[in-house]
Amino acid sequence: MIIIKLKGGLGNQMFQYACAKHLAERNGDVLKLDISLYQPGNAPAGDTARSYALGAFSISAQVASKEEVRRVRGLLWHIMALAMKVINRVRPISSYMFDPQVLERRGNVYLDGYFQSERYFKDIKACIRNEFRLREPMGEQAQAMLRDIDGSDSVSLHIRRGDYVTNKNANAFHGTCPPEYYHAAIKEIGKHVHSPKFFIFSDDIEWAKADVGMPAHATYVSRDGIADYEELLLMSKCKHNIIANSSFSWWGAWLNANSNKIVVAPKRWINDERVDTSDAVPVEWVSM
């Protein structure tokens, strides 16, 4: 049995699931999910509170029971987990670097990590795209937005602020993309797309309007009535993508099935210079 410990928001959970799904496929084994961190009182200190978010997708894995988690983790897991906390304080963070040994593990496996590289699941990309289909049709507002997206040279543009601004730990580690990045990205899209129509996704729409300076006829997608997972899928339906340093819009761009898509991503993925992020962005995307 393969069990993946889910943590973080929707985009993080998708990375973790995709990696674990690949390992389960390689091993011909069952995949289950440990969602215990989303139970009240279990969130790590200093982290932004999150909820389990994969239920909207057509994933094949089920939630693991407490007994299954206990059995697969084994007796030494808690000792090893404590040791890793000490080690991680002094060694470079490796969340964005592909470790091939992860996919070589056999037998009962308990995975605990972020696995933020497509190299963990690129070999089964058709399977992953199928797993991340919605279980139910989009709501009326999202459907209306989708019609607009389908009928234009649509470009998603995602601005991530939220806890990247309000949480001091997240701000120090991740930082935010400045307006200059978006200006350069819009200009880059303009070199290749004759009549782009920009669809703006953000957890701070007012900041996007006031501080970034969006194209005159931009459409602002994020609003009450459109769920976060619907926003992600709407991003994926755009013909091209400008993403933030965010796993959320990363997945919106990766799930985009347009063979001629242009994806612009920030070259500086995080603030922390200790971290090697060379595996974070697919080589086909434009980093700037």
User: Among 4-8, 64-68, 157-161, which is the least confidently predicted range?
Assistant: 157-161
User: Among 74-83, 86-95, 200-209, 250-259, which is the least confidently predicted range?
Assistant: 86-95
Residue 210 is predicted with a pLDDT of 78
User: Among 6-10, 172-176, 236-240, 251-255, which is the least confidently predicted range?
Assistant: 172-176
Residue 42: is its pLDDT beyond 90? no
CATH number of 140-287: 3.40.50.11350
The amino acid occupying position 233 is L
Rounded to two decimals, what is the model's pTM? 0.90
Rounded mean pLDDT, 153-163: 86
Residue 87: is its pLDDT beyond 50? no
User: Among 43-52, 85-94, 167-176, 264-273, which is the least confidently predicted range?
Assistant: 85-94
Rounded mean pLDDT, 67-93: 65
Instruction: Give the integer Cα–Cα distance in Å for 230 and 135.
Output: 11
* Domain layout of the chain by residue ranges: 2-131, 140-287
Distance of CA 269 to CAs 135, 169, 241, 244, 259, Å? Answer: 31, 16, 16, 8, 24
Residue 175: is its pLDDT beyond 80? no
Residue 129: is its pLDDT beyond 90? yes
Residue 91 is predicted with a pLDDT of 46
SS3 readout for the chain: CEEEECCCCHHHHHHHHHHHHHHHHHHCCCEEEECHHHCCCCCCCCCCCCCCCHHHECCCCEECCHHHHHHHHCCCHHHHHHHHHHHHCCCCCCCCCCCHHHHHCCCCEEECCCCCCHHHCHHHHHHHHHHCCECCCCCHHHHHHHHHHHCCEEEEEEECCCHHHHCHHHHHHCCCCCHHHHHHHHHHHHHHCCCEEEEEEECCHHHHHHHHCCCCCCEECCCCCCCHHHHHHHHHHCCEEECCCCHHHHHHHHCCCCCCCCEEECCCCCCCCCCCCCCCCCCCCEEC
Q: What are phi and psi of 132, to 5 degrees?
A: -95, 25
- Condensed to tens digits (0 to 9), the pLDDT of residues 229-266 reads 999 999 999 999 999 999 999 999 999 999 999 999 99
Residue 89: is its pLDDT beyond 60? no
> Residue written as tokens 């808690």?
78
Query: What integer best gives the mean pLDDT of the chain?
Result: 89
- Contact criterion met (CB below 8 Å) for 91 and 253: no
- Condensed to tens digits (0 to 9), the pLDDT of residues 268-286 reads 888 777 788 889 999 999 9
